[in-house]
Amino acid sequence: MINKINQLLSDIENLKAEKAEEIEVLRIKYLGKKGEISELMNDFRNVAAEQKREVGMKLNELKEKAQEKISQLKESLESTQTSGDTIDLTRTSAPVASGTRHPISIVKKEICGIFRRLGFSIAEGPEIEDDWHVFSSLNFADDHPARDMQDTFFIARNPEIILRTHTSSVQTRVMEKQQPPIRIICPGRVYRNEAISNRAHCFFHQVEALYIDKDVSFADLKQALLFVAKELFGADTKIRLRPSYFPFTEPSAEMDISCNICGGKGCSFCKHTGWVEILGCGMVDPNVLDNCGIDSKVYTGYALGMGIERITNLKYRVKDLRMFSENDKRFLEQFESAY
């Protein structure tokens, strides 16, 4: 048996292979369950007692050599294949820089992720809308200032066709087609006829949320708001709700968070109050539910909406809103490492 082991050691030392299939054949031949080394292991019981120590050591050496040689062949083949793929002949001669995510996209993705964890799904709708879905169904009075041309973009001066001023129009479309329970968020771009400055733009982005079911209360809204604020700005964030008015919610409120820049102590950003407004919210007005075919005597719900640019300003301290739409590479490259 010693002679056979020595012969196999010599054969294994000289093994060669150019393909993965050939390496697998060699592995099975020597290391497989019915391979030559396994057969020698089975014959080991027939070796004389005085030779068992020597033969056992030789068998272990043979098996280790075989495993080592097979591993070497695999590594050699992989390195050869890799080295052949390092030159990409389709690439340009000049280096191509990696792209970056836009800060608005980063924050929108983060906000949507938070609401998904609360069980909300995403709903989308058209940016060119009609008066019913943007205003009338949402309880806006006929003489409401938002209907005026100085606030809203009308298509070809048609009073019925407009660029949506908020993503609440998506909520009304969902309510018309779906009965509760409804739990959606509506991210998207909106348009308002405002002068462009460092604090305002004629278009911006919103995320609105709507939850309708039986026995939904203002306490549910407050708990959701607290969770969202802490997820966005940190566990130490505090919120406060101030009474407000919106045509489509009653009661209505505006929510402030403790300034994440000064920690609530007061700075120029929060106008030394320690609080920053970030969104509006409230319980869905029964008239809105009825307008959309939902029984307001059975169901209640809450709605909230926030500007993504506002949240982005708070998170990244961007002082000029125009930076988000001017495609300045120096600005956008600052977000290269962001997810």
- What is the domain extent for residue 14? 2-82
Dihedral sign, Cα of residue 38, residue 44, residue 45, residue 46: positive
Task: Tell whether 71 is covered by a domain.
Answer: yes
Per-residue pLDDT tens, the chain, 339 aa: give them.
Answer: 777 878 888 888 888 887 888 888 888 887 887 788 888 777 777 778 777 788 778 878 878 888 888 888 888 877 776 655 566 677 777 776 667 788 899 999 999 999 999 999 999 999 999 989 999 999 888 777 776 766 888 887 777 899 999 999 999 999 999 999 999 999 999 998 888 887 778 889 999 999 999 999 999 999 999 999 999 998 889 999 999 999 999 999 999 999 877 777 877 777 888 898 999 999 999 999 999 999 999 999 999 999 999 898 888 888 788 888 888 888 888 876 544
**What CA–CA distance (Å, rounded) separates 80 from 206?**
53
Is 10 in the same domain as 52?
yes
**Considering the domain boundaries, does residue 95 fall inside one?**
no
CATH number at residue 169: 3.30.930.10
Are 74 and 159 in a shared domain? no
**Same-domain check for residues 46 and 164:** no
Q: Are residues 305 and 231 in the same domain?
A: yes
Determine if the pTM surpasses 0.85: no
Reply yes or no: is the peptide bond before residue 251 cis, omega within 30 of 0: yes
Q: Are residues 70 and 110 in the same domain?
A: no
Residue pair 303/248 in contact (Cβ under 8 Å)? The answer is yes
- Asked if residue 94 is part of any domain, the answer here is no
Q: Is residue 178 part of a domain?
A: yes
> Does 147 share its domain with 296?
yes
Cross-strand bridge partners of residue 243: 253
